[in-house]
Amino acid sequence: MLSCLGPLQYLSYLTFPAFFLLSFFITPPVQVIANKLTDAFDFKSLITALDTYVTYYDSWDYHRRQAAWLEVGKAQRDVPVHIANEYCRPDRSFYPCPEFNEPSLPRTRSFYNYVSRSLDVWFPLTSSSSGVGFDFGLYRFECPSFALGASMLSLGPGVGDGPRLLDLPAVSHLDKVRTDDLTESRKILNVEAPNYGL
């Protein structure tokens, strides 16, 4: 029976059932975007690490402070690039606390490396055992580094006030703003997906 079909008809006859079955697993583009929106970055690890550092800074010795600051750095390894862009943008600092609602976000991931006295990049992470979270954390509080964006900090004496007074409130506010943005995006994209059924 199939021998009477032309090559194209034969191919269609054989592939239609497979395509029909696969269509149940093909997600419409609107649904793909909506699914991605449910995978929001959780600021909890970064905020918790900053909060722990801030809360116990005065009662800890140098070594405990350094270990806590490296926990902040480890949390920073997992941030999405738009958060790194906020830390590294050269046109404003975290003081006064920004609204994080500017019409554009400069795409920069450079921070000032005090060891090499040059700019370095946050992403892509170049090592799984050194750099951010292993040797230093990044901060954005200091006004002299304002034009440089974020700066590295392995933790030296007397640097506790910056993350305490400025980085934690700014990151907490950024969490609220991005969560509100996500909620708004979900509302906009919450449209009925077209029915591709037969």
pLDDT tens track for 66-76 = 899 999 999 99
**Higher-confidence residue: 138 or 9?**
138
Q: Residue with structure tokens 């055992």? A: 129
Q: Does 134 map to a domain?
A: yes
Residue 46 pLDDT grade (very low, low, confident, very high; cuts 50, 70, 90) = very high
Look at residue 122 and tell me whether its pLDDT is greater than 80. Answer: yes
Q: Which has more confidence, 148 or 19? A: 148
Is there a domain that residue 103 lies in?
Answer: yes
The reply to whether 1 falls in a domain is: no
- Read off the pLDDT band of 157 (50, 70, 90): very low
The pLDDT-based confidence of 194 (bands split at 50, 70, 90) is: low
Three-point CA angle 188, 189, 194, nearest 5°:
135
Rounded to 5 degrees, what are φ and ψ at 137?
-115, 170
The number of angstroms, rounded, from the C-alpha of 70 to the middle of its chain's C-alpha atoms is 18
User: Residue 198: inside a domain, yes or no?
Assistant: no
> Alpha carbon of 78 to those of 125, 137, 143: distances in Å?
10, 12, 26
Domain presence at residue 35: no
Interior/surface letters 61-92, b for 16+ CB within 10 angstroms, e for the rest: eeeebbebbbbbbbbbbebeeebbbbbbbeee
91 in a structural domain: yes
Look at residue 86 and tell me whether its pLDDT is greater than 90: yes
170 or 161: which leads in pLDDT? 170
Residue 100 has pLDDT above 60, yes or no: yes
Domain with 153 in it:
44-189
Q: 64 to each of 53, 73, 158, how far by Cα in Å?
A: 9, 14, 14
Dist CA 102 CA 89 (whole Å): 12
Total count of domains within the chain: 1
Q: How far apart are CA 149 and CA 135, in angstroms?
A: 19
pLDDT of residue 71: 94
Q: What is the pLDDT of residue 113?
A: 81
Can you tell me the mean pLDDT for 39-63?
88
pTM above 0.75, yes or no: no
| Pairing status of strand 150-153 against strand 110-113 | parallel
Mean pLDDT for the stretch of residues 117-128:
87
Structural domain includes residue 129: yes
Distance CA 139, CA 111 (A): 9
Estimate the crossing angle of helix 44-56 against helix 62-76, to 10 degrees. Answer: 170
Q: What is the pLDDT of residues 163-174, one digit of tens each?
A: 666 889 999 999
Q: H-type helices in the chain, by residue range?
A: 7-22, 29-37, 44-56, 62-76, 81-88, 161-162, 168-189
The token pair at 164 is: 């305490």
Q: Which tokens go with 177?
A: 């703003």
Q: Report yes or no on 51 lying in a domain.
A: yes
Give the highest mean pLDDT range of 16-30, 33-47, 61-75, 131-145: 61-75
